[in-house]
Amino acid sequence: MRLAETLTAVGTAALARCGGRPLGAHLFSVWPGAAFAASAFPVRCAPGDNLALHVAVEQAPPGSALVVDVAGEAEYGYVDEILAVAAHTRGVEGIVLEGCVRDISAIARCELPVFSAGVSVREAGHHAGGAVGQTVTMSATGPAPLQVRRGDWIAADDDGVVLLPRGQVSSVIGQALAGLSREREIIDAVHAGQSTLDLLGLDPSQVSGWEGAGNLRSRRAVRTRGPRREGGARGEGYTPLRPCATPHTSVGEGSRPAD
């Protein structure tokens, strides 16, 4: 399976849990179900102008994704039907931008995955400067913005957008796949009637109004549907799920591509 397909299959939630850096929570998919993973091609637009986006569509390598900084001027429709169709035709895998878009029905029809900060009918200009292929700064869910360099990887789906710096992608994927396998075991156990409190190693006594272990045991006793694991009572044989070992702060260290 190609790297892009693997990242898309794993999903942004698992990638973020295992070291991927989430971009701002204000970014959302223009149409439901949009998803992609691709090497980043950074774009910096002049405020209220999308000339650099038109240049990027012509210059970006096929299979890459445009990651667009709009210089803090979000309230313009930087991507419209014309740009979306052009990008899709030239093999751009997706677009992530801090600004707004317009013609969202047409963007959905052409099936280009676009993740933006909103929708605006205000038309962007086409004559100012900007830059393509150079490092851009994007907002993030953490305390500081994220730098996106050409050759970093971007994954996006309905859960959000995640940055994976080049050189660390394989490590994040390996941990994410292991985590997904463990998560599947827990979901199967929940279907079988087991408690998330036990499976995740949670302490309910920290919650005011908790009725106590006796009440929990009585609720478990009435559950008869679903398979039981051999070798003991429900919950035995499961190690509580923990976050991946790689902390978010480690991402970005190590190998980085040149600007």
pLDDT at residue 214 in the model: 60
Q: How confident is the model at residue 201 (pLDDT cuts 50, 70, 90)?
A: confident
Between the CA of residue 237 and those of 10, 56, 203, 240, 243, what are the distances in Å? Answer: 25, 53, 19, 10, 19
Domains of the chain, start order: 3-166 (3.50.30.40), 167-247 (no CATH)
Quick check: helix, strand or coil at residue 197? Answer: helix
The strand pair at 153-157 and 36-45 is best described as antiparallel
Between the CA of residue 117 and those of 42, 159, 160, 230, what are the distances in Å? Answer: 17, 14, 11, 50
Q: pLDDT tens, 179-191?
A: 666 777 778 888 8
Which helix H or strand E contains 55, and what residues bound it? helix 51-59
Check if the beta carbon of residue 28 is closer than 8 Å to that of residue 13.
Answer: no
| Least confident range of 67-71, 129-133, 243-247 | 243-247
pLDDT at residue 175 in the model: 75
Quick check: helix, strand or coil at residue 51? Answer: helix
234, pLDDT greater than 50: no
Closest by Cα among 153, 156, 183, 186 to 171: 153
Check if the beta carbon of residue 14 is closer than 8 Å to that of residue 122.
Answer: no
The answer to pTM > 0.85 is no
Check if the beta carbon of residue 113 is closer than 8 Å to that of residue 12.
Answer: no
Q: Both tokens of residue 20?
A: 């991927």
Check if the beta carbon of residue 224 is closer than 8 Å to that of residue 254.
Answer: no
